[in-house]
A and B are shown apart, each in its own frame.
Chain A
């Protein structure tokens, strides 16, 4: 029995929304984080709104249900769930051209920038550019989010473990870090993807495996520092167990680092995927692939630029918003940039 892709997609949405609600509840209850959130909102309203729009599009593109695929339409992604966004764009193809968003039209068959039908035009095989650009949001968030979810726990496990317990485990982790750091990242990435086969998950795993090293180092160094602090010693004198110390005293004090790393890592991962797409081993439906596909079209006469422009703008805006928010988060959360009230 095979599980339909839309089941996974909906499940992910439920899990993600649950996680977001939990985090929001925590931020509301905890005063330190609540204040940080308010201050972040004050600093970066626009960027947060942009991120919300991207999130909303990705959400619409993730909620899917069975059936309803129009006859003869093969969807842009063969294995993707048939989502709300797909339904908006694909359902109306056959009915009439008067529908505002008709997709899968042949490039040659109609004017390239036919107003109404294709607000941003189509690509060489007649796919609606707006539609593809919107589909890319989900892929980008998936790559950034899923990979971070692989890389950060991995880095924490090794980094905090090595920093806290030291000894042999520390030696082992450092051996691992040095080994990974001594290999050219891109080659390792390509090798991993080749070994695992192409696909969203394998790209995420490959990116995750190659990108945890930096944060692992940071987590280890920070744990080494925290371990010697008086409140950790005090907890030990109080008879708190090792796991109690790690979960109550070490990890909460790494939380700001985790959030900052998550955000900064996110944008660099989305960009890495674009690089991989350019090399032909990216994720189907990503902006990177759009750019890669559009690259040859630039030499046509007249120049077909809207395709690459749409993908580039979408990518650029997301990265800009994420980085801007990440910057603000660092200002808000990093104790070194905060004035400590006496």
Chain B
């Protein structure tokens, strides 16, 4: 069976800085490939600026101007989203692919009742009466664990707590029974206890409804709790793609290993936390060879000169690293 969502060689570029002589476009997403099966949870992890969110926005064709997707294919259910008309794309957005955002505080319109916002989301894609849509919104509110759903429908966003707002966002995203849910750092802005609740909710919904989730995060704890497969991004590239078990038990790419070693919960108490030296280079100032080479503690001759190609490993695993392709590990 072909995957639900298949991304091939996705490239998203922004025009180069004004005033620079060459004005070469900067590729913030550079040749990303991955698949997402029905009901699967794929986590996209990486530092800030690695292109995670931009990848998700590229898939929805919502890259902020002046950026644009310059190459690649996004096959959703066999159709290339990048070639659809604006109207067709609009019917897919929200209806078949939904998204929840990082900031529940600002993700709801402050002047509209939350119930009306959910009802509008439903009625945007399905021709149902207002009363029916309201009934459905109520049952959705109950499903995502909002107490007193009937009353909460008439609440304004400022009357709800952050956790409740995030639940409303999830209810809104799920209102049209999407096949894929993009979750862009869904718990970053929440308290730890609420984080756990929301994660539990996402997992439960994913099991019950079979919704595929593309989880974008830099929190490996969340990844471990939710993801089936993990894609690690660095500087616009996908450096390692593996199942959760493989990645956590045997990380191959030095960057992945660095990330895992930096998790505070895994560190020995009293010892200094591991850190990856240096910072992600800004987009457009990427080194010539492997983009991670300057920060890598295992680099050798080809790393600085040649961009590593993808090495396939069993279990659908892929790694971009000279050390791996030359059999050093």
Contact = CB atoms under 8 A, between A and B. Distances in A.
Contacts, number: 69
B101 A233 contact: yes
A229 B93 contact: no
Interface string A220-239: 00000000011101111111
B94 interface: yes
* Interface residue SS majority, chain A: helix
Interface in B99-120: 99, 101-103, 106-112, 120
B27 interface: no
Contacts of B60: 237
Given A230-B106, A237-B60, A342-B161, A253 B111 contact: yes
B90 A239 contact: yes
A231 B93 contact: no
B320 to A, nearest CB: 30
B107 A234 contact: yes
Interface in A215-261: 229-231, 233-241, 244, 248-249, 252-253, 255
B65 A166 contact: yes
Nearest to B106: A230
B95 interface: yes
B121 interface: yes
B172 interface: yes
A239 B95 contact: yes
Contacts of B95: 239
Contacts of A230: 101-103, 106-107
Contact of B120 (A248, A335, A340): A248
B98 interface: yes
Interface string A249-293: 100110100000000000000000000000000000000000000
Contact of B124 (A233, A239, A340): A239
Nearest to B97: A237
B93 A238 contact: yes
Contact of A237 (B94, B111, B125): B94
Contacts of A236: 62, 93
List 6 A-B pairs, minimum CB-CB distance, nearest first. A238-B94, A239-B94, A230-B107, A239-B93, A237-B99, A230-B106
24 contacts: A230-B103, A230-B106, A231-B109, A234-B101, A234-B108, A234-B169, A235-B109, A236-B93, A237-B62, A237-B93, A237-B182, A238-B98, A238-B172, A239-B92, A239-B93, A240-B94, A240-B124, A249-B109, A252-B109, A252-B111, A253-B110, A253-B111, A341-B159, A342-B161
Given A252-B111, A341-B159, 6 more contacts: A229-B106, A230-B102, A230-B103, A231-B108, A239-B125, A342-B161
